[in-house]
Amino acid sequence: MQRVLDLSAEVARAPGEARRLLEAFVQRETFPLMDAYDAATFFYWDGTATEAVFLQHWVFGLPSRVEFRRIPHTDAFYLPLNLPRGARVEYKFEVFKGGRAAWMADPRNGRRAFDPFGSNSVCPAASYAEPEWVHPDASSRRGTLVEGTLRSQAWGDERSYHVYVPAEARPGKEYPLLVVHDGKDFLNYARMGVLLDNLIHRHEVAPLIVCFTSGVDRNREYAANPRQADFLARDLVPHLRGRFPVLPGPEFNGLMGASFGAVSSLYAATRHPGVWGRLLLQSGSFAFTDIGEHERGVLWDPIVDFVNGFRGAPPPLEARVYASCGTFESLIYYNRSLVPVFQGATPEFRFTESPDGHNWINWRDRLRDALTYLFPGPLWLYYE
């Protein structure tokens, strides 16, 4: 922020030189401005008349719309924001010109995070470090991605999938199975194929057969829907065992998902006990009620009914469970509240929090921790 204050002081001393000072400022700086103490200063100036600028972000607990300050004598705006250590913030600008507002990515920040709805600008704290294992490594042997379809009795239609077969796969050997909700999105936005190549090659994660499956009517199908649970256990797993070298036994079957996909994964494990021995639940949409209505809409009704029942009488989970959630998410309250419930349901449970939001990069960054806990490789030593 000090650099903006220095700029403001320069402009105050020579208002007629404001444009030249601003042009020099944006040429020499990188945005958002960061300092070593994880303080960020967001900045907007495009050389045209601007009435107001707001920061739109997804940090639960802060106002979602925060107004910038104007540098006197200019159409430049700035906003200081202190970030927790290791944090990532995804954001957009709301810019008012001529009485009209427009949302946009930060035009001076090339860092983007993509999702099925588009992209957001990214502000990482100075202490945030992107994991190096999310990038392609020329030394890592690449697995094979195989396409397939099956006829689903549960859904009454054809369902497509992709299966990752590790480069380490050998004839006559069988491997654990991991099934991934929102599979296409995990491949596209979390680079899951790349990180599987890297982590398996480094022997941090055991060689896995990984099935990426995606819903047709995703939110309805993943909202604690018995047909989705039946599809996974009665249609998909038998089909995969007939086509791929998958180890028998629930201790080798993993199921994972994020948001509604986490709900679907937990629900499937309770509806079909003895099928899933490994669960990865990221930012679970585990809404519940203690009193009154949940006020999240009818789509959430089956989820709230399920989670209320799970909290009230948690069934034993014969599974190792890894759960995570971002501290910037509105779901953090629900996820924290379920920790003692999970601890009572299974002796093998780990929960982690991260200074991030409900997004694919947060889920990506937790995958090494999760997969080494659920499917540790031969060189990964884990002590409870």
User: 149 with 90, same domain?
Assistant: no
Quickly tell me which residue has 């107001």 as its tokens. 52
Q: Which residues have CB under 8 Å from 376's CB, separation 6+? A: 204, 205, 206, 382
The CATH number for 325's domain is: 3.40.50.1820
Is residue 89 a part of any domain in this protein?
yes
Question: Amino acid identity of 81?
Answer: L
Same-domain status, 367 and 305: yes
Q: Are residues 118 and 218 in the same domain?
A: no
**Distance, CA of 140 to CA of 138 (rounded, Å):** 6
Same domain, 38 and 95: yes
Taking residues 117-121, report their average pLDDT: 95
Residues 308 and 8: their CA atoms lie apart, in Å, by 54
- Other CB atoms within 10 Å distance of the CB of residue 34: 17
- For residue 250, the 8-state DSSP code is G
Residue 361 has a CB neighbour count (10 Å cut-off) of 22
Mean pLDDT of all residues belonging to the chain: 95
CA nearest neighbour of 55 among 77, 22, 83: 77
Q: Are residues 221 and 299 in the same domain?
A: yes
31 is in which domain, residue-wise?
Answer: 2-124
The H helix count followed by the E strand count for the chain is 12, 18
pTM above threshold 0.85? yes
96 falls in which pLDDT band (50, 70, 90)? very high
Q: What is the pLDDT of residues 41-72, one digit of tens each?
A: 999 999 999 999 999 998 988 888 999 999 99
201 Cβ contact list (under 8 Å, min separation 6): 137, 139, 140, 141, 167
**Do 117 and 265 lie in a common domain?**
no
DSSP 360-376: HHHHHHTHHHHHHHHSB
250 falls within a domain: yes
Inter-axis angle of helices 301-312 and 260-271, to 10 degrees? 50
Give the three-class secondary structure for 67. Answer: strand
pLDDT of residue 295: 77
In a domain, 379, yes or no: no
Please report, for the domain that includes residue 102, its CATH number: 2.60.40.10
- Predicted confidence at residue 381, as pLDDT, reads 57
Radius of gyration of the chain (CA): 24
Helix (H, G, I), strand (E, B) or coil at 381: coil
Which pLDDT score, from 0 to 100, does residue 380 have? 66
Query: Nearest-CA neighbor of 282 among 333, 312, 321, 310?
Result: 321
Query: Could you give the number of structural domains in the chain?
Result: 2
* Mean pLDDT of all residues in 245-250: 95
